[in-house]
Structure 1
Amino acid sequence: EPTNHLDLAAIEWLADHLKRRWPAGEGALLVVTHDRWFLDEVCEHMWEVHDRRIDPFEGGYSAYVQQRVERDRQAAVMEERRQNTLRKELNWLAHGAKARTSKPKFRIEAARALIANDPPLRNPLELRRLAVSRLGKQVIEMKDVSFSYAGGPRVIDDVSWIIGPGDRYGILGANGAGKSTLLALMTGRLEPTSGTVKIGASVRFGFMSQHLDALAEKDGWRVLEVLGRYKRSYLVGGKMVSPTQLIERLGFEQRELPNFVRDLSGGQRRRLALLCVILEEPNVLVLDEPGNDLDTDMLAVMEDLLDSWPGTLIVVSHDRYLMERVTDDQFALLNGRVRHVPGGVDEYLRLLGEKNGGAVAPAALAPEPPAPAGGGLTNQERRELKKRFDSVSRRLDKTAADPERLRAEMAAVDASDYAALMAAQAALDECLAEREALEDEWLDLSERLGIDV
């Protein structure tokens, strides 16, 4: 777990350092980590340890997911074949003749093709509509907010920021930058030194701190006793489910429910804390490092749960995979000020590098390997191009559904409201222009990197 307690810049530096720690063909690296971005960056092979078995996979985390989906699909095919054989045996036993059935037909496809027709992870229009109905129009409005601890410098400096219903925002910042202080100001748990924070009348906060403060008071409780404090059933995904069913979705087994909270692992405590926050039925969810202590499967389960969250979501995390997965926009806390970073984590790291005079980490002092023969790209140039290529690819994936969403919004505008129609058309044109520019850049980068498209 080398990335534990490291901020984004340090994780970026460590990955870069490990990738060029040894010349090609020399050295070896063995790492145990739940940081999925880090796995993609540094690993060429992976071992999954599960059910007392070890399964090898080629590539990093993304390749592992694709191969695992295919492996699970093949296992399902084998089970279906076994069931078909058993049904034929039953039919023969019942009728004394072989059943006349056609052989099942299966298509072998790549893992990405398996999910090609799946619906989007989130329906932003529906979630926003639900959020407005639950929250009204005002959620949090910060105006000229500053804060400093007694006798110290300003931690938050003249911040003006509006968070609306259905917004899904991630907050990026180095360790000690003041992210937890900012959350405390936004949620009314801390009064600003100057400026104002207005919180909507219908807002109900659900807050999970990185230290799980609320759960620490229940160390002597059993898990079932904790869940017994809440309603017997909740509407989730159109179905009524109980708290015990929900906690089973988060990886608990029935036999673990009588356990004391103090005996739970770090990951189990964090999952229970998250569920307790959600069971309080808040309409604004504030999560401070929610991915700590969770393995990759549980991170995926938590992200799936947050995808259907119909309120405002604010996340602080150094897990860039989680951050880009569950939030729609990211904001950086730099020098006490909040700044929107449309380019996500990559843009934040660039800004951090500029702030530090181009030296995010000591990797810049390490000698560069020699340039390849034949006038090709140097290793440094290739790394920078690959980084930009990955960023453009993520942005294209993230905005893939935007044109259809904007067309649907425009279709819903009153035909007599010309101003609204013009604004909707302008937003669609801007979206299409951005995607076209990204696609052109993606093709150019693919060609320069020699990636077969």
Structure 2
Amino acid sequence: MNYVSVENISKAYGERVLFENISFGINKDQKIAFIAKNGSGKTSLLNILTGRDEPDSGQIVSRNGIRMAFLSQDPELLDNLTIEETIFASDNPVLKIIQQYEKALENSEDTDAYQKAYDQMERFDAWDFETRYKQILFRLKLEDLQQKVASLSGGQKKRLALATILINTPDLLILDEPTNHLDLEMIEWLENYFTKENITLFMVTHDRFFLERVCNEIVELDNGVLYTYKGNYSYYLEKKEARQVQEQASVEKAKNLFVKELDWMRRQPKARTTKSKSRIDDFYVIKEKANQRRKDHQVQLEINMERLGSKIVELHGVSKSFKDRVILNKFTYNFLKGERVGIIGKNGTGKTTFLNILTKGVQPDLGKIVVGDTVKIGYYTQNGIEVKPDQKVIDVIKEFGEYIPLTKGKIISAAQLLERFLFDRKKQYDYVAKLSGGELKRLYLCTVLIQNPNFLILDEPTNDLDILTLNVLEDFLLDFPGCLLVVSHDRYFMDKIVDHLFVFRGEGVVEDFPGNYTDFRVYEDSVVPEIVDKKETVKKTWKKDANTGLSYHEQKEYGKLEKEIAQLEGEKTTIENAFAAGAITGETIQKESERLQIILEQLDSKTERWFELSMKMED
């Protein structure tokens, strides 16, 4: 079933052409990722799809009655509403029923209103919906439902917009960088949610793990041409490489033919026959093909870097707290030459604060930090570059000098450096204010690296960068001989460049894990979590029974969950025993593996809800 058809649309801003005459369709149950370089118009395309902008030519045809939702990078929310009011402000009829039921609970004396609200809950099976939306809020760390939108951070606002969309289950969900502002735990939950839900997606994302696990089709805009790949990210990489090899072979063949035809053209007399005229026309077609150049520039950096001495950065008994929130508790560590450390942890555990302490932007409460004399720190922050009025791209780099020193006594001009960072000569004289979000991040990254740091600190460097730029950055960092410290929720990026992790657990606990992110996940999944250690609950007040702390319907749900969990545990044990005994073979392996995965996901979800209710019984 076709939901949306994109028919020959074009978009330009003045002389800057984003795309021309592109067409594709979005069908039910497809999970499509749209990939293009920064500045190619990804966000513009999403705005056109959702009616926030108009194409210069062509049209968007949507199926009648389709419910579409859009998660933008800067969601528009009403500041005067609370989190709860924002959720209930939607047109979802089931949410209205739940809201009426909650009001009836608050006014328990009006038995008629309560009975009517209860009947509506039963009729529309709103109990399951209520449980589901509370779990979504819990997973996205939106626990204080009475908090005003005006007091939320940018990341919290995006999570609230995401929660509202997921709760309302649209037919088609359009997402612009959905994993930005989510911690790793939230991203993995969202992956599982999208994988198991029958929901149609069209998204822009640079998160390659997300692409791999969620998407079943990738649409790429490359040099103005649209390519479609019916598979996940691995399939896309394989088929794109094959396409590029074929294109290069075609170009080489055209070059050889061009040499022959050029010789013929030079030997022709001025008088042309009809047959000659046709061959001449073919010559110019061949010439265009032979001169075709791919624009996949590769950044090649040989920036000169001062050698590190024996003392690099030492932290001695460093402690830091903000009121009751402990960030570091007597943390001690000595960085060694060539260390490559990744930092992970939930939002709010102090990752960025730790970086600011290292760079002396924040003072510790106790302890000291010793930085070696030869250390030159380069710090890429989440704040990005400061855009100055009427400043051009080339001017930003020239602030650091007309020429940049390279290794082996070589130098490079500011213009050449920008070319290596994928800014062509024309783009260098664009005003900085005209750059896309990803281009601004790329320019900012350039300004950090050209200062020749030998201790590089990167705070979420992958946000808003396209996949080509990410590959370029990764290649540079793999060759970077200095120390590297990076905070990132991009698991693919972390796996590729770091050797060990600082895991921020919260409450001042920082663990040093000897491996990359995938190693860490494998280790964590092998450890059976003790349910008594889980402290997170959904902090919403419902009408409670005087003895148990649960409402009548929560008691029913609690009992039902216990039976369902026991049943799922039994099924899980049966399948695992069958695998262990070698009783599952051949065609049934895939089927039983998929069934086991579904059981594990259901167990996780239902156990979490059971725990929430258990905690309420103890309150």
Q: Secondary structure at the match of 2:337?
A: coil
2:357 aligned with 1:201: no
- In structure 2, the partner of 1:142 is 315
Distance 2:515 2:536 in 1: 21
Structure 1 residue ranges without an equivalent (≥5) = 97-121, 386-453
2:387 aligned with 1:211: no
Asked if the contact 1:341/1:347 (under 8 Å) is kept, the reply is: no
Q: 1:59 to 1:217 in 2, by over 3 A?
A: closer
- In structure 2, the partner of 1:168 is 340
Q: Which of residues 230, 237, 246 is equivalent to 2:400?
A: 230
2:235 aligned with 1:20: no
Cα deviation, residue 13, structure 1? 0.8
- In structure 1, the partner of 2:481 is 310
2:255 aligned with 1:53: no
Distance 2:519 2:255 in 1: 52
Where do 1:84-99 residues align within 5 Å?
A: 84-90=256-262
Q: Secondary structure at the match of 1:171?
A: strand
Q: 1:356 to 1:334 in 2, by over 3 A?
A: farther
Q: 1:81 to 1:378 in 2, by over 3 A?
A: closer
- In structure 2, the partner of 1:118 is none
Q: 1:19 to 1:228 in 2, by over 3 A?
A: same
2:335 aligned with 1:159: no
Q: Which of residues 463, 469, 477 is equivalent to 1:298?
A: 469
Asked if the contact 1:146/1:193 (under 8 Å) is kept, the reply is: yes
Cα deviation, residue 90, structure 1? 4.2
Cα deviation, residue 383, structure 1? 8.1
Q: Secondary structure at the match of 1:176?
A: coil
Asked if the contact 1:45/1:56 (under 8 Å) is kept, the reply is: yes
Distance 1:289 1:74 in 2: 36
Cα deviation, residue 181, structure 1? 0.9
- In structure 2, the partner of 1:242 is 413
CA-atom RMSD in angstroms: 3.5
Cα deviation, residue 382, structure 1? 5.1
2:406 aligned with 1:191: no
- In structure 2, the partner of 1:379 is 594
1:379 maps to amino acid? E
Asked if the contact 1:171/1:315 (under 8 Å) is kept, the reply is: yes
Deviations 1:283-315 (A, max 9, x none): 111111111111111211222232332211111
- In structure 1, the partner of 2:496 is 325
Asked if the contact 1:9/1:361 (under 8 Å) is kept, the reply is: no
Query: Share of identical aligned residues, percent?
Result: 34
Q: 1:240 to 1:67 in 2, by over 3 A?
A: farther
Asked if the contact 1:13/1:360 (under 8 Å) is kept, the reply is: no
Asked if the contact 1:145/1:158 (under 8 Å) is kept, the reply is: yes
Where do 1:51-450 residues align within 5 Å?
A: 51-90=223-262, 134-149=307-322, 151-212=323-384, 215-216=385-386, 218-236=388-406, 240-335=411-506, 336-349=508-521, 351=524, 357=531, 376=589, 377-379=592-594, 381=596
Distance 1:253 1:137 in 2: 40
Cα deviation, residue 41, structure 1? 0.8
Q: 1:280 to 1:203 in 2, by over 3 A?
A: same
Deviations 1:103-157 (A, max 9, x none): xxxxxxxxxxxxxxxxxxx9xxx99xx98x71111211112211112x3332112
1:72 maps to amino acid? Q
Q: How does the TM-score come out when normalised to structure 1?
A: 0.67
Structure 2 residue ranges without an equivalent (≥5) = 1-176, 269-299, 538-560, 601-619
Q: 1:32 to 1:229 in 2, by over 3 A?
A: closer
2:499 maps to amino acid? D
Deviations 1:178-211 (A, max 9, x none): 0011111222322221122111111111111111
2:257 maps to amino acid? T
Asked if the contact 1:8/1:174 (under 8 Å) is kept, the reply is: yes
Q: 1:347 to 1:146 in 2, by over 3 A?
A: farther
Instruction: Indicate the larger mover: 76-85 or 375-384.
Output: 375-384
2:479 maps to amino acid? S
1:188 maps to amino acid? K
Q: 1:276 to 1:383 in 2, by over 3 A?
A: farther
Q: How does the TM-score come out when normalised to structure 2?
A: 0.50
Distance 2:456 2:436 in 1: 24
Deviations 1:318-376 (A, max 9, x none): 111111222232221112232222343245456499778497999xx999798899855
Distance 1:145 1:326 in 2: 27
Asked if the contact 2:216/2:232 (under 8 Å) is kept, the reply is: yes
Distance 1:161 1:153 in 2: 21
Q: Secondary structure at the match of 1:29?
A: strand
Asked if the contact 2:499/2:516 (under 8 Å) is kept, the reply is: no
Distance 2:434 2:534 in 1: 43
Distance 2:356 2:309 in 1: 22
Q: Secondary structure at the match of 1:30?
A: strand
Asked if the contact 2:206/2:465 (under 8 Å) is kept, the reply is: yes
Asked if the contact 1:171/1:333 (under 8 Å) is kept, the reply is: yes
Asked if the contact 1:172/1:348 (under 8 Å) is kept, the reply is: no
Distance 2:443 2:386 in 1: 12
Distance 1:208 1:5 in 2: 17
Distance 2:536 2:189 in 1: 6
Larger radius of gyration, structure 1 or 2?
2
Cα deviation, residue 260, structure 1? 2.8
1:332 maps to amino acid? V
Q: Secondary structure at the match of 1:79?
A: helix
Cα deviation, residue 176, structure 1? 0.9
1:13 maps to amino acid? W
Q: 1:75 to 1:323 in 2, by over 3 A?
A: same
Distance 2:352 2:260 in 1: 62
Q: Secondary structure at the match of 2:362?
A: coil
